[in-house]
Amino acid sequence: MTLAVRYTSARTLDTTSTPSAPPGPGEVELAPAYVGICGTDLHIFHGDMDARVHTPAVLGHEMSGRVVRVGPDVEGWRPGDAVTVMPLRWDDTCPACRAGHQHICQHLDFIGIDSPGAMQQRWTVPAATLVRLPGTLPLDRAALVEPTAVAVHDVGRAGVRGGERVVVVGGGPVGVLIALVARATGAEVRVVEPSAHRRLLAEAMGLTAWDPAAVDVPELVRRWTGDAGADVAFEVSGAAGGVDTAVDVLGVRGRLCLVAIHPRPREVDLHRFFWRELTLVGARLYDRSDFEKAVALVADGTVPAERLISKVVPLTEAPAAFDALEGGGDVMKILLDCTDCTDCTDCTDDAPGAAV
């Protein structure tokens, strides 16, 4: 048996022991070490995705851990290997897959949403989803590889180039990661964020952050860019006001990259799109090259993942961690520590999952 956190209904999680079966052909059994809670997990927790999520559901897709067992026909992996998971399973037959866009497969299985995720002490996944981690990378920091891969993909979709002026609207975990990745490409970056705590955190990482309640953001951008406007804006806030800001700061032929998931339609100033020949780009998920670049950025410190981790709590404290994240501004990233095996009958303190 293995301990798992499950979503059962709106605002309800339970912690229970579930059976642990050997990995099948092409599968690998993992011992998750750390699992991050992301905005999508919160949407599920609120009941907003009940039409998609089948309960009881084990959540979690931002993770790091170690291989415990490999199934038949699996090569290149062995127990003890440090890994993260690119949590996508596609069908390879739909039009999107045939066009080479497997990460947005029209029948995509997003592991941790559509199938069981990583908030458990034993997790079996397809070997094809594994991404190797360098042995020198602490596993708590490695749990931020997945959201960093999101940022890498977003910056790539927006086509950010060195020397460009970039505005990131929303300074939560993904917004800050986008800002860090964009800066690593050579862009000049500004972050727009109402939370004082998040602005201070961004500034501690060398970013410039503005409070939209205290300053006129479009006017600051106009001065910053010599009246040209920003080359790229990322909308990461999920708020109607964030959409307005992201559009207003763009200069001629600027690119707006939509990152946040907006639960309802938003009004957009289409006249500004016409007048300045703006471009709107959607960005969803990532591919393997994004993941591999994210591993490198976290490993070399370009992304100081440790500064984004607000706290680490035991797996059994997941309900309280979800509640804490609803407070928003004073918390960035909470990790669930899955390595405490005191409630797990099939592993010991020196199992691969306990190594960090």
Supply 1's token pair: 């048996």
Active site residue 43: yes
Q: Alpha carbon of 308 to those of 41, 58, 175, 230: distances in Å? A: 18, 24, 11, 26
Find the radius of gyration of the CA atoms of the chain: 21
**What is the per-residue burial (b if ≥16 Cβ within 10 Å, else e) of 194-220?**
bbeebbebbeebebebbebeeeebbeb
Closest CA to 84 of 288, 301, 285, 283: 288
15, 16, 18, 40: which one is catalytic? 40
Active site residue 40: yes
- How far apart are alpha carbons 151 and 234 in whole angstroms? 10
Supply 79's token pair: 């127990």
Cis peptide before 25 (omega within 30 of 0): no
Please name the amino acid found at residue 259. Answer: V
16, 43, 208, 316: which one is catalytic? 43
Q: Which residues are catalytic?
A: 40, 43
